[in-house]
Structure 1
Amino acid sequence: MNNNDLFEKVPISKAYFKLALPVVLSMVISLVYNMVDTFFVAQTQNTNLVAGVSLCAPIFTLMIALGDIFGIGGSSVISRLFGQKQDEEGKNVSGFCFYGAIVCGILVSLIMMIARKPILTILGTNQATLPYASQYYTYMALGATLIIVSLTPSNLMRTEGLATESMIGTITGSIINMILDPIFILYLNMGAGGAAIATIIGYFASDLVFI
């Protein structure tokens, strides 16, 4: 079954579940990943480390929001264009969103590194949590492009009827992240930096699958 058949000929209920179930499964896996990530950080039993990582949560949320601007926003435009049979315009929007996410990620990395100290202060770090927050923050800043870009094709692919393929990319990154977390955080004693590196590698793996 090609995507045109799915959108134009298949009953709405069947098309809905074919597209919705992979999305729900992806969300469940992502939720489990977040719980596992927090679990392994907590296993260090270092309250300052846990607090330092938690203080950087708004930065991670910001990256997700920026990725969704291109992913979800682009999906809305592409859906309308496909409905109007303007496939070439839809492809152009898809390309713009993908490369726009790359540029946005690079700019975010630069801004985060340049304004590193004031941003960490605004996040609420103190003398005890600063070393851990700084370590986590630095790696996340360097990997901002990989995170932001990952969220763009995962949404665009669903718009094009490739919900299962999008799910595979998301789950692949989450599983790799869950495997690397205990290795980097506990066995290699990399602490906050290990948590950030595991996250970035997971998103990088998703990017490769999507591409």
Structure 2
Amino acid sequence: MKDTDKRAKMLGEEKIPKVLIKLAIPAIVAMLVNAVYNLVDTMFVGMLNNTSAIGAISIAFPIFMIIGAFGQMFGVGAGSYISRLLGENNKEMADKTTSTTFFTSLGCGVLFTIVGLIFLEPILKIFGATDTIMPFAKDYSRILVLGSVFTVMNMTLNNMIRAEGNAKYSMVAISLGAGINIALDPIFMFSLGMGIKGAALATVLAQSISSVYLIYYFIAKKSYIKISLKYFAPSKQIYNEIMKIGMATFARQALASLSMGLINIASKPYGDAAVASMGITFRILSIGLFVIFGYNQGFQPVAGYNYGAKQYKRLKEAIKVSLKWTTVFSILMTLVFMFFAKNIVCVFSKDPEVIKIGAKTLRAVTLFFPLFGFQQVYASLFQSLGKGKEALLLSISRQGIFLIPSILILPKLFELNGVIFSQTIADFCTIIVTAILAVKIHKHLNEEENCCYTNQLT
């Protein structure tokens, strides 16, 4: 049996816990590596002993998130549709979706580079760059924007490869880039004396190598789904399917970027130390976030395939197992962040003010983290099932509907504490919305299952 046939058989027939482990662990490793090299980047910049330089990383982070949001929009949207098409045995449309997504996202990456370079300084001001941070932010961000194409392509290709069940290759691609990034950081920053520019250049070079590795997967015909100009078939149907799910992911990341910018702006009155501490805190938190995101990247093709194949019992089992595993992990991470907050922040800065604000912020943002797995499993479920409206609502709740008003209102009432606890309030409100939608989707799945069973009898 071919590897491609084995992957399809695995998604539809193998025991749910086993297939989830097979798909989730490589994705978790890849996302963890991503989180770690983001942290290492911050750690190396911290060695410059310049709080303004660390602040520049915080300012640039929202730009990097926006670039990634475009890649995730195409990748997650196409991945969801491809998984369902493979579950329906519609290989031809899966190939058309893959090729159309690839070439469209490539064009989008080029466009983002042009726009980003033209409007770089105004964008940095919008995201909260102070006069002292701006020179460092420009040096760092300009290079990152030049590598936009690689960022977008990596996000897109990784998601599509996972959609056909080959999470291992995706893991290797991301790990390869991250490992190269970590190796190049000290060489460019210190050995070559490039400082913060070196950190950005290391990131872009590493991502370009990941892009080559991912494209090789398709060129070498290792893939089940195909990328070719002959399959490039832009159509309303394909773009509608991509966007109804992809827009939810884009909205989540774009709003997260906007929210980070607003947090930076709200932190500005309290100095560069406050701006730097916010950036450090959310990068530390990304370890927990990225593990859950990685797990759900393994969960999505399982959910999408079995929903498309109308195997409802397998789908429900996948949901149950995923909720259990992600909740246990979220609780463990909360305990680590709560008890060791100060020690963790000390790794990235020796500035006493940064450590004080950062430790307090880390504890605040993890108050409701035990239920983060619950939030994200259902957000991923709606994406997998093609439920665009619900996926969009959950995606924009945590980082938009609830967080943005919190950032705008709470600092006026509670000053810096308002900035620190804004994410906490947003998480609490998002949990309530998730619970309501979870009840509705289970009722809907039960109805579909009963209808399917009735049709089989008749």
Question: TM bucket by the smaller chain?
Answer: over 0.9
Tell me the SS of whatever aligns to 1:56.
Answer: helix
Give 1:51-130 correspondences, 5 Å limit: 51-130=55-134
Residues 7-16 or 199-208, more deviating: 7-16
Aligned to 2:191, which of 170, 173, 187? 187
Amino acid at match of 1:189: G
Matches within 5 A, 1:132-211: 132-211=136-215
Amino acid at match of 1:108: F
Q: Distance in 1 between matches of 2:144 and 2:188?
A: 15
Q: What is the identity percentage for the equivalent residue pairs of Structure 1 and Structure 2?
A: 35
SS in 1 for 2:204: helix
RMSD over aligned CA atoms reads: 1.3
| 3-state secondary structure, aligned to 1:127 | coil
Distance 1:27 1:125 in 2: 28
Matched letter for residue 107 of structure 1:
L
Gaps spanning 5+ residues in structure 2: where? 216-458
Distance in structure 2 (CA, Å) of the matches to 1:83 and 1:49: 49
Give the conservation status (yes or no) of the 8 Å contact 2:8–2:164. Answer: no
Higher relative contact order (CA 8 A, sep 6+): 1
Structure 1 stretches lacking a partner, 5+ long = none
**Whole-angstrom distance in 2 between the partners of 1:16 and 1:127:** 48
**Is 2:42–2:57's contact at 8 Å kept on the other side of the alignment?**
no
Alpha-carbon distance in structure 2 between the residues aligned to 1:146 and 1:161 = 23
- For residues 75-130 of structure 1, the C-alpha deviation after alignment (integer angstroms, 9 at most, x for no partner) is 01111111111111111111122112111111111111111221122122233222
Which residue of 1 is the match for residue 356 of structure 2? none
Q: CA deviation at 1:53?
A: 2.4
The one-letter amino acid of 1:106's match is V
User: Deviation at 1:210?
Assistant: 0.8
1:12 paired residue number: 16
Instruction: State the number of aligned residues.
Output: 211
How many angstroms apart in 2 are the aligned matches of 1:103 and 1:167?
25
Computing the radius of gyration from Cα coordinates, the structure with the larger value is 2
CA contact (8 A) 1:44 1:186 kept: no
How far the C-alpha of 1:42 sits from its partner, in A, is 0.5
Question: Aligned equivalents of 2:61 and 2:96: distance in 1?
Answer: 33
Q: Give the C-alpha shift of residue 147 in structure 1.
A: 0.8
In structure 2, what is the equivalent of residue 28 of structure 1?
Answer: 32
Q: Report the Cα distance in structure 1 between the residues aligned to 2:14 and 2:179, rounded to whole angstroms.
A: 33
On the 8 A contact 2:67/2:151 being kept in 1, the answer is: yes
